[in-house]
Amino acid sequence: VSPHPVATPGFRYDAGRLACAGVDLSRLADALGTPCYVYDAEGVRGRYRSLTGALAPLAPLVRYAVKANPNLAVVRLLSGLGAGMDVVSLGELERAWLGGAAMGDICFAGVAKGDAELRAALDGRHSPLLHERRLTRGRDVAARGPIGLINAESASEIERVDAIARELGVVANATIRLNPGVSAGANDKVRVGEGASKFGLPPEDVLALARRCGELPGVRFRGLHMHLGSQIADLARLDEALGAVVELADRLDAAGRPVDVLNVGAGVAVSYMGEPAPSDAAWAETLARRLGPRVEGGATVMVEPGRELVAQAGVLLTRVRHVKRAGTRTIVTTDAGLNALVRPAMYGAAHMVWPAVCPPDAAPDPIAPPDGRGLARADVVGPVCESSDVFARDRPIPPVERGDVLAVFTAGAYGMSMAMTFNDLPMPAEVMVDAGVARVVREPQGYADLLAPTALGLAGGREIGGL
């Protein structure tokens, strides 16, 4: 069996040179500098079309999980295709809105939403962007309506939603998040559906809270939210969790709390190293088997895919700083590390790493890790002072030297959104390639930008009055 591709078809090696929609990525790196992320716009469109096509029989509302890749060009592209947005903070909510999503098409998840976040979600006059014309570009943030849905996770939160909604004179639509008591996901850091996780509530508590909503004039109970976890490769686990959702929905109906929204969370796993991953069709089938009857009864299904839409549509470009011989090992050091892409260090995640220019016979087509026969092995490591700052350990890779550009594949999701400036490394740039044209969609962070907020420390600091 040939390995599964790990990049969208827009990424291709042409005569040994990696290109995105015809744009040569080694030359792009020369022009802009590294590290930088490159996104394939057509690849994102293709993923969105494939997913919505497969799910069409359920006519779901798609809510893109902004956390996967919050770049405004990505949000704008997906909202232009008709996606709503799933957000987990006020920052993400503002991005979703700036990127063109209607407030009614945004849902807001998270275990610890703050009052200020809820206020801005329910009434644009409380948006932090109220006077930020540079960002809002003439759109009237004050006039925007309340958010489509709040995915609530606790009784305490529902009471706050009710109080704030009444204070603002609106009614907040809410789903309640069920913890399905099913364990699934690539590693313990992304497994959220098991009983002991901080997310959601067990069925009895959801029932009690749905009943309580009936006494709160500021809240309208709409249904259930369930997110089993991210990078779900085993659809049997998802099926089990959906079973718990449907069973609870039946009990809520019987209790006079009809469920008209069934939000079933994330998309499925993607292939990072050529391993098989569930197809959109298989995912759709799993959903349809459990939720089909409810949809026929008039319920609305909602999905919140992030990774699936953008992971394979992005690469991280980084430049080789040194090739170091250490005993029998070869260590390739690069200018990007866990500061730019934390997944390998944080989750032990594997990403394919390959030179952007290589001998034509070493160029994988489609892009998937080759078996590496005949290649020497090397470690590819970042500049950060952490022993976990390793992109690839003892991997076959064509020979590289100082100055070469490497591509880290399948980096479009949870790459830039988790980047940090540890070790005082500036944030990478982001580029979107569309129809053969490469455009910077986030400037590389300069050292002045990186250091400016800290200048207070030299100037004696700013005193906090009234303490």
The site for ligand LLP (CB under 6 A) is made up of: 65, 68, 86, 109, 190, 227, 230-231, 265-267, 304-308, 343, 347, 413-414
| Cis omega (within 30 of 0) for bond into 366 | yes
Supply the DSSP string of 141-203, one letter for each residue.
GGG----SEEEE--HHHHHHHHHHHHHHT--EEEEEEB------SSSTTTB--STTSSSSB-H
291 versus 405: smaller Cβ distance to ligand LLP: 291
12 versus 67: smaller Cβ distance to ligand LLP: 67
Is 40 strand, coil or helix? strand
Measured from the Cβ of residue 94, the count of other Cβ atoms closer than 10 Å reads 20
Please, which residues have CB within 8 angstroms of residue 18's CB and are 6 or more apart in sequence? 11, 12, 24, 25, 26, 354, 356, 357, 363, 407
Smallest gap from residue 392 Cβ to ligand LLP (A): 17
134 versus 198: smaller Cβ distance to ligand LLP: 198
Q: How far apart are CA 430 and CA 412, in angstroms?
A: 10
Q: Whose CA is closest to 222, among 255, 254, 257?
A: 257
Q: What single-letter amino acid sits at 100?
A: G
Q: How far apart are CA 14 and CA 365, in angstroms?
A: 9
Q: How far apart are CA 182 and CA 228, in angstroms?
A: 7
Q: What single-letter amino acid sits at 321?
A: R
161 versus 356: smaller Cβ distance to ligand LLP: 161
What is the token pair recorded at 65?
A: 């999980």
> With contact defined as beta carbons under 8 Å apart, do 108 and 149 qualify?
yes
> With contact defined as beta carbons under 8 Å apart, do 245 and 228 qualify?
no
Q: Whose CA is closest to 317, among 246, 209, 415, 217?
A: 415
Smallest gap from residue 175 Cβ to ligand LLP (A): 11
218 versus 305: smaller Cβ distance to ligand LLP: 305
Smallest gap from residue 414 Cβ to ligand LLP (A): 3
218 versus 265: smaller Cβ distance to ligand LLP: 265
Query: Which residue's beta carbon is nearest to the bound ligand LLP?
Result: 306
Smallest gap from residue 338 Cβ to ligand LLP (A): 12
Please compute, for residue 464, the number of CA atoms within 13 A of its CA located in the half-sphere on the CB side. Answer: 1
141 versus 350: smaller Cβ distance to ligand LLP: 350
Smallest gap from residue 265 Cβ to ligand LLP (A): 5
Q: Which residues pair with 438 in a beta bridge?
A: 433
| Cis omega (within 30 of 0) for bond into 5 | no
385 given a catalytic annotation: yes
81 versus 331: smaller Cβ distance to ligand LLP: 81
Of the residues 20, 36, 358, 385, which is catalytic? 385
> With contact defined as beta carbons under 8 Å apart, do 433 and 315 qualify?
no
Which are the catalytic amino acids? 385
